Amino acid sequence: MVVEIISIGEELLIGKVVNTNASWIAKRMMEMGLKVRRIITVGDDIDEIVSAIQDSIRRGAKIIVTTGGLGPTFDDKTMEAISKATNRPLKLENEVLMEIEEKLRKRGRKLSEAAKKMAYVPEGSKIIHNNIGTAPGIILDYNNAKIIALPGVPEEMENMFETEVVKMIKFEGKFQETEFLIYNVTESELAQTIIELMREIPSIYIKSHPIISTEDKISLKLHIYSTSYDEESWRKIIDEIRNKIIGKHNYCEIRGI
Amino acid sequence: MVVEIISIGEELLIGKVVNTNASWIAKRMMEMGLKVRRIITVGDDIDEIVSAIQDSIRRGAKIIVTTGGLGPTFDDKTMEAISKATNRPLKLENEVLMEIEEKLRKRGRKLSEAAKKMAYVPEGSKIIHNNIGTAPGIILDYNNAKIIALPGVPEEMENMFETEVVKMIKFEGKFQETEFLIYNVTESELAQTIIELMREIPSIYIKSHPIISTEDKISLKLHIYSTSYDEESWRKIIDEIRNKIIGKHNYCEIRGI
Residue type, A75: D
Q: Quick check: B18 and A16 CB within 8 A?
A: no
- Give me the pLDDT at residue A175, please: 79
Which of A168-172, A220-224, B165-169 comes out lowest in average pLDDT? A168-172
**SS3 (DSSP) at B148:** strand
- Give me the pLDDT at residue A215, please: 59
A195: closest CA of chain B, how far (Å) = 7
Q: Quick check: A19 and B19 CB within 8 A?
A: yes
Residue of chain A with shortest Cα separation from B118: A188
Whether B245 contacts chain A with CB within 8 A: no
Q: Quick check: B26 and A11 CB within 8 A?
A: no
Residue positions counted in chain B? 257
Spatial CB neighbours of A132, under 8 Å, sequence gap ≥ 6: A153, A155, A156, A159, B212
- Give me the pLDDT at residue B116, please: 93
Residue type, A83: S
Hey, what CATH topology would domain A176-255 get? Alpha-Beta Plaits (3.30.70)
DSSP-derived secondary structure for A75-144: T--HHHHHHHHHT--EEE-HHHHHHHHHHHHHTT-PPPHHHHGGGEEETTPEEE--SSSS--EEEEEETT
In chain B, residues under CATH classification 3.30.70.600 are: 176-255
Pairs of CB atoms within 8 A across A/B = 195
From CA A188, how far away is CA B157, in angstroms rounded? 20
Band (A39; pLDDT cuts 50, 70, 90): very high
B104: closest CA of chain A, how far (Å) = 9
pLDDT in tens, B44-72: 999 999 999 999 999 999 999 999 999 99
Angstrom distances, CA of residue A180 to CA of A219, A257, B111: 10, 6, 25
Q: Quick check: A43 and B27 CB within 8 A?
A: no
pLDDT in tens, A154-169: 999 999 999 989 887 7
Does residue A179 contact residue A222 with C-beta atoms inside 8 Å?
Answer: yes
Query: Is the predicted pLDDT of residue B212 greater than 80, yes or no?
Result: no
Hey, what CATH topology would domain B3-168 get? Molybdenum Cofactor Biosythetic Enzyme; Chain A (3.40.980)
Quote the mean pLDDT of chain A. Answer: 91
From CA A133, how far away is CA A120, in angstroms rounded? 16
From CA A169, how far away is CA A158, in angstroms rounded? 15
> What mean pLDDT is predicted for residues A229-249?
92
- Give me the pLDDT at residue B172, please: 55
In chain A, residues under CATH classification 3.40.980.10 are: 3-168
- Give me the pLDDT at residue A241, please: 95
Q: Quick check: A19 and B18 CB within 8 A?
A: yes
Band (B213; pLDDT cuts 50, 70, 90): low
| Helix or strand (DSSP H, E) at B178 | strand B176-183
pLDDT in tens, A101-115: 999 898 888 888 889
Using CB atoms and an 8 Å cut-off, which of residues 174-213 of chain A contact chain B? 186-192, 194-195, 205, 207-210, 212
State percent of chain B over pLDDT 70: 96
Q: Quick check: A115 and B186 CB within 8 A?
A: yes
Angstrom distances, CA of residue B236 to CA of A210, B243, B249: 49, 11, 20
- Give me the pLDDT at residue B203, please: 81
Whether B4 contacts chain A with CB within 8 A: no
